[in-house]
Structure 1
Amino acid sequence: MIPAPRRPGPGERDPGEALLRQLKALGPGGPGAHELQERVVSHYAPAMKRIAHRYGGRGEPVEDLYQTAMVGLCKAIRGFDPDRGAPFLGYLMPTAIGEVKRHFRDHTWAVRVPRSAQENRIRLHQARQEMTQELGRTPTGDELGHKLGMTREQLDEVRQVSDLYRALSLDAPDNPDADGDDSPSLEEHLGCEDRLLDLVVDREALKPALARLSERERDILMLRYFHDHTQAEIAERLGYSQMHISRLLRTTLERLREEMGVGTAA
């Protein structure tokens, strides 16, 4: 039976590392290797739990972070070489912490952003907390930018990236503090029916008909319906009588309606 690992006292070596050296000496298929590996994992599991709690409160369950740190522990056990003389803890901690950080990078961002932007988000969050405590108030954008060595534009970019950290479900209520289940969801406030979509086909069909009009007819339509001129103003501008402009406008519209297949006005 392999003895249970215990914490090292003053001047003692880490018993977990001694077990790990025995495991490496046995090899993966050696007698008792599986039980020995379980002892090593059990010995260092509390350290992985401390890492999980250290990174808790950032949007991910502590249990998920603990499992991720344990993955890092298993990788460290496989990759550790006792012949190099370095202590196992010095190899384990960066490996496990790196695994947890990778978990945040790969699983918590709603949209993939560059690693530098993710790191700047963390810097911004830490700087805001520190300055709030120092100043007794929320720091201004200029104060944050000065502390981080960023321009206002760079700071705004980091803030925009922060909005990508966690997506909000469209099923979420628009008022989370409302009582009951009657609060409308965010989806109900997004978008609406675009009635102009019904006119797309008509506009496209109208283009060749407009192209067949004379330049004078197109000018009259443009002035009347796009520049909101009256018939009298159009007549004065083009040097015609108002009655002539009215007749030209009526015949032009009738021709367009016929080409569009909608008949003439009553």
Structure 2
Amino acid sequence: MTPTVNVVEALPWIEDADKVAPKDARVLSRLFLDRLPSLEEGTGEYQYVRNTLIEMNLSLVRFAARRFRNRGSGDMEDVVQVGTIGLIKAIDRFDLTREVEFTSFAIPYITGEMKRFFRDTTWAVHVPRRLQELRVDLAKGKESLTTTLGHSPTLKELAAHLGLTEGEVVEGLMAANGYVAGSIDTPGGDTETGESGPTYTDTMGLDDPALELFEDLNALGPLLRQLDERERAIIEMRFGQELTQAEIGSALNVSQMQISRLLNRILAKLRTGLLDA
């Protein structure tokens, strides 16, 4: 640190901000954070103060990144980069009047970006965030109970330990299978003898033509619920009860022509909804 030239009034010029000791960085950061709001964004002075703050506090990013070094996937350089994004957000949003240490304020932003990075990039299959977090809780619970009980916990024991139902535990365990993907060409076999067996591809069946219909019906459900009562009644009579347009018109006391127009309008609305979905 060489505070020799005052390019910004009352602030030192720091040549290698990344090499400032953490203790000194805490003191200097308060000075720079105090000055930053008074500078005009885009000016050279603003860029110097903001960039120096970032470089002085990169040690916070590296410290937080150590928590994720055993995740088993992803380049740690990428983790540091996304953590730096969190640091920048903390610098831009920090307010000295809150009387909170900058390090305490910044760490949640930094780790939050890192967690978001792992959540969005390391799962082979996208699952809801709730289940991603449940996977972590299940892993910790199994490890803790294995140590305490001396054996791998049963489903009931794990559910009781975590305060969950057995169904929720099963859902979490199934979701955990989406964390890592395996190739369908991976051969099976006996792990004890080392003999290889058929690949997953060999055991897969043919496509079920009913699956496409199921997907269409599944997408259609929410759209049907958006129709008003009269529109749902017409759809039910036409496609559920298989009544003719004339019979539907008679039941609703309107002409067959009106039913035809209503049906066309309803079907167009559903078709548009399915295409958007």
TM-score band by shorter chain is 0.5 to 0.7
Give the alignment partner of residue 109 of structure 1, picking from 123, 133, 141.
Answer: 123
Give the alignment partner of residue 21 of structure 1, picking from 14, 30, 34.
Answer: 34
Conservation of the 8 A alpha-carbon contact between 2:34 and 2:96: yes
Deviation at 1:124, TM superposition (A): 0.6
In the TM superposition, 1:180-195 aligns within 5 A as 186=199, 188-191=201-204
State the match for 1:56 in structure 2. Answer: 69
Is 1:166 paired with 2:166? no
Q: For structure 1, which runs of at least 5 residues remain unmatched after alignment?
A: 178-182, 198-266
Which aligned runs of 4 or more in structure 1 are off by greater than 4 angstroms? 171-175, 183-188
In the TM superposition, 1:117-128 aligns within 5 A as 117-128=131-142
Residue type of the alignment partner of 1:7: P
Is 1:32 paired with 2:45? yes
Kindly tell me: are residues 31 and 124 of structure 1, through their superposed partners in 2, closer, same or farther at Cα, counting changes over 3 Å? same
Is 1:99 paired with 2:97? no
Kindly tell me: are residues 125 and 193 of structure 1, through their superposed partners in 2, closer, same or farther at Cα, counting changes over 3 Å? closer
Structure 1 Cα separation of the partners of residues 51 and 119 of structure 2: 29
Residue type of the alignment partner of 2:22: R
Kindly tell me: are residues 132 and 71 of structure 1, through their superposed partners in 2, closer, same or farther at Cα, counting changes over 3 Å? same
Residue type of the alignment partner of 1:98: G
Q: For structure 2, which runs of at least 5 residues remain unmatched after alignment?
A: 6-12, 210-277
Kindly tell me: are residues 113 and 174 of structure 1, through their superposed partners in 2, closer, same or farther at Cα, counting changes over 3 Å? same
Is 1:8 paired with 2:8? no
Give the alignment partner of residue 140 of structure 1, picking from 148, 154, 160.
Answer: 154
Deviation at 1:123, TM superposition (A): 0.8
Partner deviation per Cα, 1:166-203 (whole Å, 9 max, x = no partner): 2223355658x9xxxxx899465353679xx9xxxxxx
Deviation at 1:149, TM superposition (A): 1.5
Is 1:87 paired with 2:101? yes
Structure 2 Cα separation of the partners of residues 173 and 71 of structure 1: 42
Conservation of the 8 A alpha-carbon contact between 2:22 and 2:59: no
Secondary structure of the 1:32 match is helix
State the match for 2:59 in structure 1. Answer: 46
How many residue pairs match? The answer is 188
State the match for 1:157 in structure 2. Answer: 171
Structure 2 Cα separation of the partners of residues 158 and 192 of structure 1: 27
Structure 2 Cα separation of the partners of residues 13 and 165 of structure 1: 39
Kindly tell me: are residues 22 and 146 of structure 1, through their superposed partners in 2, closer, same or farther at Cα, counting changes over 3 Å? same
Kindly tell me: are residues 184 and 139 of structure 1, through their superposed partners in 2, closer, same or farther at Cα, counting changes over 3 Å? closer
Kindly tell me: are residues 104 and 79 of structure 1, through their superposed partners in 2, closer, same or farther at Cα, counting changes over 3 Å? same
Conservation of the 8 A alpha-carbon contact between 1:6 and 1:15: no
Structure 2 Cα separation of the partners of residues 17 and 79 of structure 1: 14
Structure 2 Cα separation of the partners of residues 112 and 83 of structure 1: 41
Conservation of the 8 A alpha-carbon contact between 2:62 and 2:80: yes
Structure 2 Cα separation of the partners of residues 19 and 150 of structure 1: 48
Conservation of the 8 A alpha-carbon contact between 1:170 and 1:185: no
Residue type of the alignment partner of 1:47: L
Conservation of the 8 A alpha-carbon contact between 1:76 and 1:91: yes
Kindly tell me: are residues 140 and 193 of structure 1, through their superposed partners in 2, closer, same or farther at Cα, counting changes over 3 Å? closer
Q: Which deviates more, 129-138 or 150-159?
A: 129-138
Partner deviation per Cα, 1:195-244 (whole Å, 9 max, x = no partner): xx9xxxxxxxxxxxxxxxxxxxxxxxxxxxxxxxxxxxxxxxxxxxxxxx
